[in-house]
């Protein structure tokens, strides 16, 4: 895996041991298989992560009591090559309800062999979060952010 935190974007590139269709499915509708329970903006215990498979679909955490904690909206749904969503999490790590103040995450998938897929994640537009946006950039670009999540994802994709 390679990671770049240059300028205003966070970029993570990795190769997963899975066919492109599986790699896409595990990242998107299979997110609950690899998303860590402690990465949650709600106040209750996270029961599941959900991505609704369509443009305009919601990205959300569902707590054990049924409370939904939306954290994004699907912007691009092009299986098996491209998925993008808004990152509607504010600098206070709570839901950002103003879509104009959301950053963007693009994930692209490219088959490099029948059972291997190159995956590139680019998180951009942090400045839309307003003054102090650098804290979000630094947090998601740190070892505990996208790089760690990418490792969890790669393991789940290989096991699928």
- pTM equals 0.95
Q: Is the pLDDT confidence value at 8 over 80?
A: yes
| 6 three-state secondary structure | coil
Distances, alpha carbon 54 to alpha carbons 60, 74, 114, 120, in Å: 14, 7, 26, 20
Calculate mean pLDDT across residues 132-152: 94
**Is pLDDT above 90 for 74?**
yes
pLDDT of 97 higher than 90: yes
How many folded domains does the chain comprise? 1
Q: What is the CATH number of the domain that holds 128?
A: 3.30.530.20
Query: What is the DSSP track for 98-135?
Result: -GGG-EEEEEEEEEEETTEEEEEEEEE-GGGG-TTHHH
Residues 6+ apart with CB under 8 A from 110: 20, 81, 117, 118, 120
Tell me the residue range of the domain where 53 lies: 2-159
d(CA 20, CA 126): 29
Confidence band, pLDDT 50/70/90 cuts, at residue 2: low
How many other CB atoms are found less than 10 A from the CB of residue 24?
25
Average pLDDT rounded to a whole number, residues 63-81: 97
pLDDT of residue 1: 57
| pLDDT reported for residue 7 | 73
List pLDDT tens digits, range 41-50: 999 999 999 9
Separation between Cα atoms, residue 160 and residue 101, nearest integer Å: 35
């Amino acid at each position: 895996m390679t990671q770049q935190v240059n300028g205003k974007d966070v970029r993570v590139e990795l190769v997963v041991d899975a066919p492109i269709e599986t790699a896409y499915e595990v990242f998107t509708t299979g997110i609950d298989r690899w998303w860590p329970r402690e990465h949650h903006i709600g106040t209750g215990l996270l029961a599941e992560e959900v991505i609704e498979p369509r443009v305009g679909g919601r990205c959300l955490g569902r707590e054990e009591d049924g409370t939904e904690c939306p954290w994004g909206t699907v912007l691009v749904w092009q299986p098996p090559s491209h998925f993008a969503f808004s990152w509607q999490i504010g600098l206070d790590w709570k839901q950002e309800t103003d879509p104009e103040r959301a950053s963007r995450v693009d994930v692209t998938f490219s088959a490099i062999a029948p059972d291997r897929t190159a995956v590139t994640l680019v998180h951009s537009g942090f400045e839309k979060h307003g003054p102090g946006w650098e804290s979000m950039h630094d947090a998601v670009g740190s070892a505990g952010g996208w790089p760690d999540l990418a490792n969890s994802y790669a393991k789940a994709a290989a096991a699928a």
